[in-house]
Amino acid sequence: MQNRLICIAKITSAHGIKGAVKIRSYTEDPLSIGDYPVLYNKDASVEYELQIQSNNKETVIAFIDGVNDRNEAEALKGRDLYVYRDDFEEVGENEFYYEDLVGLRVKLQNGTEYGEILSIQNYGAGDIVEIRLKKNKKKELFSFTKDIFPNINIKSGSVIIVPPDIENIEK
């Protein structure tokens, strides 16, 4: 697997006058962004070292090395923070990171190619998988449940889908 950069957080605003920033973490545990010794900008040309101060739900307050006042912190507003995929913790058998599903082939239970996973989103009501359909290149959204996605095989690069309305899909 290619060691690509994965966005794990976004700087949302300055905090206080000493250069702290508010960060919106996309990780399961918001404080885990502090576990990475270095975070990067989108093309890894700039490195950020964080000192986490506190958190509230998904927002983390942190100092960034080299950012010493509010003006410098405000200049970073909107900046996405990335880490390399290889820096993620290893997962157990039958576990995966959602990022690893992007690009996988999607097949019906009978082996018919169905499409490709484009993204996984969560808008508050549960995880949603976006798939580009092979037959017409349209995009479809599916709830990410065990009933709909009963088999995920990262090594083979494919996912089995049982769409809720299978009669209309196979016609």
| Domains recognised in the chain with CATH numbers | 5-87 (2.40.30.60), 98-169 (2.30.30.240)
Q: Which residues is 160 bridged to in the sheet?
A: 107, 151
pLDDT score for 171 = 47
Cα distance between residue 170 and residue 65, in whole Å: 56
The residue type found at 16 is G
Biggest CA–CA distance in the chain, Å, is 62
* Residue 100 predicted with pLDDT over 60: yes
Query: Which uninterrupted H or E stretch holds 160?
Result: strand 158-161
Candidates 126, 124, 104; CA nearest to 115 is 104
More confident residue, 154 or 62: 62
The CA distance from 26 to 126, in Å, is 15
**pLDDT for 29:** 87
Q: How far apart are CA 42 and CA 19, in angstroms?
A: 22
Question: Taking 70 as the threshold, does the pLDDT of residue 139 lie above it?
Answer: yes
Amino acid 166: pLDDT: 55
On the question of pLDDT at 61 being above 60, the answer is: yes
Span 102-109, mean pLDDT? 96
Dump pLDDT digits (tens) for 11-50.
999 999 999 999 999 888 899 999 999 999 999 999 999 9
Token pair 């964080």 in the structure block, residue: 50
If you average pLDDT over every residue of the chain, what do you get? 91
